[in-house]
Amino acid sequence: MFREITLDLVRVTEAAALMSSKYLGRGDKEAVDESAVDAMRGMLDYIPMKATIVIGEGEKDQAPMLYIGEKVGTWEADAPEYDIAVDPVDGTRLVAYGLPNAVSVIAAAEKGKIASLPTHYSYKLACGPELVGKLDINAPVRENLKVAAAALGVEVSEITVVVLNRDRHRKLIEEIRRLGARIKLISDGDVGAAIATAIPESGVDIYIGIGGSPEAVLAAAALRALGGEIQVKLWPKNEEEKKYILEKGYDPEKVYYTEDLAGGEDVIFVATGITDGDLLKGVKYIKSKIVTESIAMRAKSRTIRKITAYHDLYHKNVPMKSKGGDVKFVELNFNR
């Protein structure tokens, strides 16, 4: 069943990437996000499945499309049932200002197997296959770096750590520097950064720090297929959120592992590059063609596919939900 929808999901992220790429460098984050959401939601209508959005753009009163609980797919009687997690643009600011590492992302799993964490942010530690089971999110950074260096057979100075460049990470960054490891600071796009730890050619060994909880779940879906690992702890952003999770019975000290976030027998992860990055090449316009690069991963078989697609500019249709169906790409008005 999963094989039947994998390529369909690639078309979903391709559509979102194509639409958002039209706003590259225009400084309009809202336009980047809205166009990607519209196209992603429109394409999902074509897929033969019964699917529910469990991670999306927020609650229904805040998001007109791709809201949590929304039903997507054709919902034919014999269609397979899935839970879906989406991020139409991981890195809206990156696209708006022409910066690298923006991707469009979707994950699918059997019903009830994609976690929905109760906090907006989480503390995360991700790594590739060689470090699985060796690192500990509760351990000091110096200990994890020492263990990682020993496991990889290198010096700590050869370890590369990715951290979101935020004020909240100032002490973390200073400690990593003091310990002598290499640091790659990113401004946004931590889904791709966490996944990069499991891709040898990325040159990244560890991702650590506080970032979005939905992004942690999406990264977990990919790491299931790549054989990597992510560890997550809830990080309440204020006292109100801390009170909320305690009232709901969540343990703030609990560590969520990869399969806690994206579980079940099989998980699919698909992403399409919007701007060039460590994971994927971005959307390119070459005369009358538009070139996209996507990656499709399946956890059960651990099959990883890179897909390069050439879209004819004058024949390409995009299924915009707000317009009720397919619209020719060249006829869409991108002025706001």
What is the CATH classification number for the domain harbouring 51?
3.30.540.10
What pLDDT score was predicted for residue 84?
A: 97
What pLDDT score was predicted for residue 336?
A: 54
Q: Does 256 lie in the same domain as 162?
A: yes
Let me know if residue 218 belongs to a domain: yes
Token pair in block for residue 301: 């078989």
CB atoms inside a 10 Å sphere around CB 83? 21
Q: Does 320 lie in the same domain as 213?
A: no
* Residue showing tokens 């990889």: 152
Per residue in 147-165, pLDDT tens? 999 999 999 999 999 999 9
Let me know if residue 270 belongs to a domain: yes
Does the structure show a pLDDT above 70 at 303? yes
Q: How many domains does the chain have?
A: 2
What pLDDT score was predicted for residue 184?
A: 95
Angle (CA) 290-293-299 rounded to 5° is: 150
Let me know if residue 336 belongs to a domain: no
Q: Does 125 lie in the same domain as 109?
A: no
- Tell me which amino acid residue 166 is: R
Residue 271: give the domain boundaries: 2-113+266-331
Q: Does 162 lie in the same domain as 34?
A: no
pLDDT tier, 325 (very low <50, low <70, confident <90, very high otherwise) = confident
Q: Does 239 lie in the same domain as 134?
A: yes
Letter string b/e over residues 45-67, b meaning 16 or more CB atoms within 10 A of that residue's CB: ebbebbbbbbbbbeeeeeeebbb
Of the two residues 239 and 1, the one the predictor is more confident about is: 239
Domain end, chosen from 246, 261, 276, is at 261
Token pair in block for residue 119: 């906090």
Domain end, chosen from 261, 277, 310, is at 261
pLDDT tier, 187 (very low <50, low <70, confident <90, very high otherwise) = very high
Q: Does 253 lie in the same domain as 128?
A: yes
216's enclosing H/E stretch is helix 213-226
Let me know if residue 219 belongs to a domain: yes
Does the structure show a pLDDT above 70 at 223? yes
Q: Does 223 lie in the same domain as 133?
A: yes
Cα 63 from Cα 256, distance rounded (Å) = 27
Does the structure show a pLDDT above 90 at 221? yes
Residues 29-43, mean pLDDT to the nearest whole number: 96
Per residue in 66-105, pLDDT tens? 999 999 999 999 888 999 999 999 999 999 999 999 999 9
Strand, coil or helix: 214: helix
What pLDDT score was predicted for residue 2?
A: 52
Q: Does 129 lie in the same domain as 70?
A: no
Q: Does 305 lie in the same domain as 252?
A: no
Q: Does 29 lie in the same domain as 71?
A: yes
Let me know if residue 91 belongs to a domain: yes
Q: Does 193 lie in the same domain as 107?
A: no
Q: Does 221 lie in the same domain as 136?
A: yes
Let me know if residue 231 belongs to a domain: yes
What pLDDT score was predicted for residue 327?
A: 84
Per residue in 194-207, pLDDT tens? 999 999 888 999 99
Token pair in block for residue 159: 């370890």
Strand, coil or helix: 222: helix
What pTM does this model have? 0.93
Domain end, chosen from 240, 261, 282, is at 261
Distant-in-sequence contacts of 29-35, Cβ < 8 A, 24+ apart: 29/92, 29/93, 29/95, 29/96, 31/96, 31/334, 31/336, 32/89, 32/92, 32/95, 32/96, 33/88, 33/89, 33/92, 35/334
What is the CATH classification number for the domain harbouring 150?
3.40.190.90
What pLDDT score was predicted for residue 334?
A: 64
What pLDDT score was predicted for residue 276?
A: 95
